[in-house]
């Protein structure tokens, strides 16, 4: 069923048991983003050490796609340099814009490739991107 390409098992697993959820006290910056069309919200804490994403923690309310995406993103980016994080970020963006025509680079995106199906549902792309946009915003702010 078409739906299964959207709600891959990996996504539902992350949704039910999200990683890095719960804001840690140790942070360099906190950002709050929301999706005004559906009301989903995320608060994201970012900690930086020696040019690396040393920690991400987050909290929020949202649909399975947005919450699973925050979980997967945290897994992917923690421990990466900002340069590496940016490559992953761009790869995820590209996947989201692929309209279902890309499977994603699993070596880069790991569990993130499960979101390939989301790109066929235009209304859900912004769900998948909520946490990524929050991260990007936090990263820019922390650089300044």
Over its C-alpha atoms, the chain yields an Rg (Å, rounded) of 14
In angstroms, give the least distance from the CB of 29 to other proteins: 19
Q: Which two tokens stand for residue 66?
A: 């947005």
The answer to whether the CB of 65 falls within 8 A of the CB of 11 is yes
Nearer to other proteins, 95 or 118 (CB): 118
Please give the C-alpha separations between residue 43 and each of 16, 31, 128, 141, in angstroms, as whole numbers: 18, 6, 15, 15
121 vs 78: CA distance, rounded Å = 28
Q: Assign 116 to helix, strand or coil.
A: helix
Nearer to other proteins, 79 or 122 (CB): 122
In angstroms, give the least distance from the CB of 139 to other proteins: 19
Backbone angles phi and psi of 56, in degrees to 5: -125, 130
| Residues in region 40-99 near other proteins by CB under 8 A | 40-41, 61-65, 67
Binding test (CB under 8 A) with other proteins, winner from 14, 113, 124, 139: 124
- Does 20 bind other proteins (CB under 8 A)? Our answer is no
Binding test (CB under 8 A) with other proteins, winner from 22, 39, 50, 143: 39
Nearer to other proteins, 12 or 140 (CB): 12
88 vs 59: CA distance, rounded Å = 22
Binding test (CB under 8 A) with other proteins, winner from 36, 83, 107, 143: 36
As a residue count, the chain comes to 144
Interacting residue ranges for other proteins, rule: CB under 8 A: 1-3, 6-7, 12, 34, 36-41, 61-65, 67, 121-124, 127
């Amino acid at each position: 069923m078409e739906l299964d390409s959207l709600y891959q098992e990996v996504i539902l697993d992350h949704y039910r048991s999200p990683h890095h959820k719960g804001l840690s006290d140790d942070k360099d910056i906190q950002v709050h983003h929301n999706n005004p069309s559906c009301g989903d919200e995320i608060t994201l804490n970012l900690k930086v050490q020696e040019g690396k994403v040393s920690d991400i923690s987050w909290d929020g309310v949202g649909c399975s796609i947005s919450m699973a995406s925050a979980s997967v993103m945290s897994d992917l980016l923690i421990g990466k340099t900002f340069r590496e994080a940016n490559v992953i970020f761009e790869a995820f963006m590209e996947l989201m814009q692929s309209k279902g025509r890309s499977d994603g680079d699993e070596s880069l995106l790991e569990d993130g490739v499960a979101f390939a199906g989301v790109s066929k549902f235009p209304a859900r792309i912004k769900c998948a991107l909520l946490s990524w946009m929050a991260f990007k915003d936090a990263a820019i702010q922390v650089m300044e």
